[in-house]
Structure 1
């Protein structure tokens, strides 16, 4: 395996992106540097412990870049970040942009030590930023033992407490002479994200500054974001949605609020204290936000200029509840491989907000293809397999050209695996996911539809429709339900509700599984594989419906 990561894109593709101004000759670091020159004392980043100006931010980026170089790191080598949201993560990402390193912020608190070590080994980790205890089964520095013998590893930054407000306190070499000029190139790979692995071993997704900036610029322009915008991502920087939101904030030149406060503290209190105007999260974040507002008896909320709900399909009742509060809802769509290229438009009607996932940003396009013949595009309005191509697309899967090739059709369209349709105005409506379809005796059942309808029941907080094996039919549907606090319902109530909402009797659940908790993956999506694993081990036992 190579020790450095390079782009597999051809010169012709890169040249076409630049010729059409989809890609530009500016790194993310250079964007930040321009803000630091024009508005050095304006706030760029807020944590729970202090604010950082644009000048302070760029100074810390330069300091880390110099320290990495002094420890022998070269362009294309990887810098891993194993910590929760904190200032050092932002600095590491921007240092990669500055000098052409490849930053991987994927290690998430839900990952085990062995999973994080596997990522580091696969991508030849050269430097590791470590907060003790980070990881699902970590208590201290276990990851350092796990990766300590990697031949690629040059240095470990063991981070202290974030509450002193000093990034890399005592960890950077002082007085490094001859600070170099930035070496970054916006076309180089600077970001490596490992997918959540819901369908097997996580794949490493490679992006350049340019491929990440397409969506950031598109959203900034569509929603008129600017220096007065205060942005907060409820998704962590270990997830592509979190990083994409950071890039958007840096592009518009506003303030970025780190979501670094403890669980259980009021979301609304933190947002209002920072005067957040642009909020981004997954549907579960939206549900928590709505619950916080409801607990205060708030019926109208005008402090947000936009709430982007993305990362997973947003149930209609959630987006409508936000809309009815007076919050401009920006339902998005994308994936790690494509970035968050979809966005709603300002002034979208309630029906559009409820039913669609917006339109494509400039520089990227969607098509819909026949699921049984992915090379055949279907007419507008016809449901099928969603595919995309353009400047927002990944540069490829790390060290896996076969997987990269298999992800494309003959025309070079990236096949998402999601099902949906486009209308005449370019709005996307999601209808399900091809890989998640439950096959019952030859009949395809869409679990997303069942979940969406179940979530519209007032007692249901989360719902997951999963397959259970059947010797005769192959698979049958099991509905796992987590109730709202203080609420409950019988399965008869749920089935009646599904029928009233229009679910076909041929798609009805045949097993019932009330649970106290439905696990989520790091990206906020339901971890259906974990539910199925617990069923196989006997930790969860579905009840057959007669």
Structure 2
């Protein structure tokens, strides 16, 4: 097949990646088909009501691929997936890999019908697989009638929610049955360098961009993680992140490389993720720090002292509070401290034999499929010194092939040396481990002094009554910005502002970095993937919807002064 998408694919780089084995001749579908041929009855994929073997999964993907082809889709066409965590989402992904289509799964539950329609129009989607009534306003708005008239749209598939009959609609096709046995006129596409995945960024700092990946750029990350952490066919991998988020894609990569079972977080009503982790015998759990905090809190409430068979807990998407990592270690669970982006996957992580300090303080070293350098904030084409804070830049086999239909955004993402600039701030220690300080856009500048929110958050979460925390800027006419610390307290607990400030000082926070506003909230605005929407907090304070309490830390007099 010949790709019609404009990408950053470079033949010279590709040859180098193939020579090192980071890129190979396998597509994602080809790996699944190999497992189906070698271990047809081994379990591959599970949601709340279905458990598929590798043979079941590949057969169903074949049926979906045949139906998309019958609808007139061509190689390179985009297929949108707007579904909750159910096995059909992965079936569609593998069907796209088989036929050379581009899967677009990053359509989240908190999107509205109009937002989904806009994203589908932006990527000229040729097909959509969606669940009836899903989404922020799905009960009032109909996605199928809304997108049926899009110029590129050729096929709509309407799935019913679990336990209800499939809807009969004139504008939609029936999703192929699991036992369908199609007769193919074409063989699977065996080009692993084609674009197979288009994910819109979560947009916590602006308009989402369409990130393009090939089978190879995705699998390079999965291969490295499987090798470094000893993931094998006996692993039971539980993804707490929704299938619309890139963390779940990293979970799928590892599943396909290792041939293990992937369990998606699709708990039935009244069943918690903790219950599902225990029930499924999960050994490897993937999510964000918010998931970890919630699970540890539920374990504490229920008096549980073990997390079933779990040996490893992956955390990415935001900085891991040190206290969370310590609590997992006390349970005999290795925290996998991850740093990455949709653009480059989970490329930076700690290793099983790292010492306590490395595990809780850093994100370890770059995997074999990536390399990073720290670049000066004031001169992004110049490398920063050891220990100096700067912007994290990287390159390698798991890097995106660019932003879909957005040449300017693609160009702006690289410095003059050809390194992809993450927008995140960090520093390398003398062993080469990365300490992420925060996003450059999250940096709070108070009267010319740089304050890093993650440092405040890391210390604040250690307070025994703090459940979740978020530090963000509040505009100030004189100083530009001041720090506001928002807190969700533990159940039946309270935190007084002065108490928190004293805690921060005792924990080592500089008096120059102290919060000057305090908010006690019942919940935070969150993205679909579990990240705190600090931009929304900033807007709510500016608009007067939230009114933080002004606070000021004052040093306590010494006994001699008292």
Q: Fold match, TM over 0.5?
A: yes
Superposition TM-score tier, normalisation by shorter sequence: over 0.9
| Corresponding residue to 1:346 among 340, 349, 352 | 352
Give the corresponding residue for 1:260.
Answer: 266
- Partner of 2:295, secondary structure, is helix
| Corresponding residue to 2:546 among 537, 540, 545 | 540
Asked if 1:522 is matched to 2:519, the reply is: no
Shift in CA distance, 140/126, structure 1 to aligned 2, threshold 3 Å: farther
Q: Is the 8 A contact 2:371 2:394 kept in 1?
A: yes
Asked if 1:451 is matched to 2:457, the reply is: yes
Any stretches of 5+ residues in structure 2 without a counterpart? Answer: 167-171, 553-562
Shift in CA distance, 425/263, structure 1 to aligned 2, threshold 3 Å: farther
Q: Is the 8 A contact 2:47 2:85 kept in 1?
A: no
Asked if 1:171 is matched to 2:149, the reply is: no
Give the corresponding residue for 1:7.
Answer: 7
Give the corresponding residue for 1:67.
Answer: 67
Relative to structure 2, which stretch is displaced further, 412-421 or 8-17?
A: 8-17
Relative to structure 2, which stretch is displaced further, 121-130 or 376-385?
A: 376-385
Q: Is the 8 A contact 1:23 1:210 kept in 2?
A: yes
Q: Is the 8 A contact 2:157 2:174 kept in 1?
A: no
Give the corresponding residue for 1:380.
Answer: 386
Give the corresponding residue for 2:482.
Answer: 476
| Corresponding residue to 1:213 among 207, 219, 226 | 219
- Report the alpha carbon displacement of residue 272 of structure 1 after superposing the two structures with TM: 1.8
- Cα deviation code 1:259-313 (max 9, x no counterpart): 1114762333211211111111100111112122222323355622211111211
The within-5 A match list for 1:187-202 is: 187-202=193-208
- Partner of 2:382, secondary structure, is strand
Give the corresponding residue for 2:89.
Answer: 89
Give the corresponding residue for 2:188.
Answer: 182
- Partner of 1:162, secondary structure, is coil
- Cα deviation code 1:107-130 (max 9, x no counterpart): 111122222111111000110011
Give TM-score, length-normalised by structure 2.
0.93
The within-5 A match list for 1:99-498 is: 99-139=99-139, 142-163=142-163, 170-172=174-176, 177-262=183-268, 265-301=271-307, 303-498=309-504
CA distance in 1: counterparts of 2:63 and 2:474, whole angstroms: 54
- Partner of 1:444, secondary structure, is strand
- Partner of 1:295, secondary structure, is helix
- Report the alpha carbon displacement of residue 510 of structure 1 after superposing the two structures with TM: 1.3
- Cα deviation code 1:340-396 (max 9, x no counterpart): 112221122222211111222112111111111111112333332111100010000
- Partner of 1:377, secondary structure, is coil
* Number of residue pairs the alignment of both structures matches: 544
- Report the alpha carbon displacement of residue 169 of structure 1 after superposing the two structures with TM: 10
Asked if 1:44 is matched to 2:44, the reply is: yes
Any stretches of 5+ residues in structure 1 without a counterpart? Answer: none
CA distance in 2: counterparts of 1:478 and 1:287, whole angstroms: 22
Asked if 1:500 is matched to 2:506, the reply is: yes
- Report the alpha carbon displacement of residue 26 of structure 1 after superposing the two structures with TM: 0.8
Relative to structure 2, which stretch is displaced further, 531-540 or 49-58?
A: 531-540
- Partner of 2:380, secondary structure, is strand
Relative to structure 2, which stretch is displaced further, 220-229 or 471-480?
A: 471-480
Relative to structure 2, which stretch is displaced further, 342-351 or 400-409?
A: 342-351
Q: Is the 8 A contact 1:206 1:398 kept in 2?
A: yes
CA distance in 1: counterparts of 2:534 and 2:269, whole angstroms: 23
- Report the alpha carbon displacement of residue 96 of structure 1 after superposing the two structures with TM: 1.3
- Report the alpha carbon displacement of residue 235 of structure 1 after superposing the two structures with TM: 0.6
CA distance in 1: counterparts of 2:52 and 2:262, whole angstroms: 10
Q: Is the 8 A contact 2:387 2:427 kept in 1?
A: yes
- Report the alpha carbon displacement of residue 488 of structure 1 after superposing the two structures with TM: 0.9
- Partner of 1:385, secondary structure, is strand
- Partner of 2:231, secondary structure, is coil
Shift in CA distance, 542/104, structure 1 to aligned 2, threshold 3 Å: same
- Report the alpha carbon displacement of residue 234 of structure 1 after superposing the two structures with TM: 0.3
- Report the alpha carbon displacement of residue 175 of structure 1 after superposing the two structures with TM: 7.0
- Report the alpha carbon displacement of residue 438 of structure 1 after superposing the two structures with TM: 1.0
- Cα deviation code 1:29-55 (max 9, x no counterpart): 000000000011111111211211111
Q: Is the 8 A contact 2:474 2:481 kept in 1?
A: yes
Q: Is the 8 A contact 1:333 1:340 kept in 2?
A: yes
- Cα deviation code 1:90-117 (max 9, x no counterpart): 0111111111100011111112222211
Q: Is the 8 A contact 2:62 2:95 kept in 1?
A: yes
- Report the alpha carbon displacement of residue 515 of structure 1 after superposing the two structures with TM: 1.2
- Partner of 1:226, secondary structure, is coil
Q: Is the 8 A contact 2:126 2:154 kept in 1?
A: yes
CA distance in 1: counterparts of 2:361 and 2:268, whole angstroms: 34
Q: Is the 8 A contact 1:301 1:326 kept in 2?
A: no
Give TM-score, length-normalised by structure 1.
0.95
Give the corresponding residue for 1:16.
Answer: 16
